[in-house]
Amino acid sequence: ETGVTQTPRHLVMGMTNKKSLKCEQHLGHNAMYWYKQSAKKPLELMFVYNFKEQTENNSVPSRFSPECPNSSHLFLHLHTLQPEDSALYLCASSQERQILTGELFFGEGSRLTVL
């Protein structure tokens, strides 16, 4: 148990569907992250939120829409995805006052398959 919970763990969706991934952290952290993990590729940082404000968006397509209603919750809304978006989506959190030195705490991931 890492203190970061992601739901659902597995999701299969068609290209026309709309779905959402949810992340919740119980660590009292203020920064939250979405990473994409595809086979044989480095982890790709997608979004970073600090105190609910988006601080980074790494040129992610608009079919991925993040939402951070408070410091404990992070969502990734998905719509009109492509098969190449199939991947493991990882949520992480960290302590804001340790921006450079603090490690990230990861959830178990949401395995997304786009048909």
Partner 1 sequence: AQSVAQPEDQVNVAEGNPLTVKCTYSVSGNPYLFWYVQYPNRGLQFLLKYITGDNLVKGSYGFEAEFNKSQTSFHLKKPSALVSDSALYFCAVRDEDSGYALNFGKGTSLLVTP
Residues that bind partner 1 (CB under 8 A): 2, 4, 6, 31, 33, 40-43, 45, 48, 50, 55-56, 58, 90, 92, 94, 99-101, 103-109, 111
Q: Give 36 or 85: the residue with its C-beta nearer to partner 1.
A: 36
Give the start-end residues of each E strand in 1-115: 4-7, 10-13, 18-25, 31-37, 44-50, 53-57, 64-70, 73-79, 87-94, 105-106, 110-114
Q: Give 60 or 104: the residue with its C-beta nearer to partner 1.
A: 104
Q: Give 81 or 92: the residue with its C-beta nearer to partner 1.
A: 92
Contact in structure between 90 and 34 (CB atoms under 8 Å)? yes
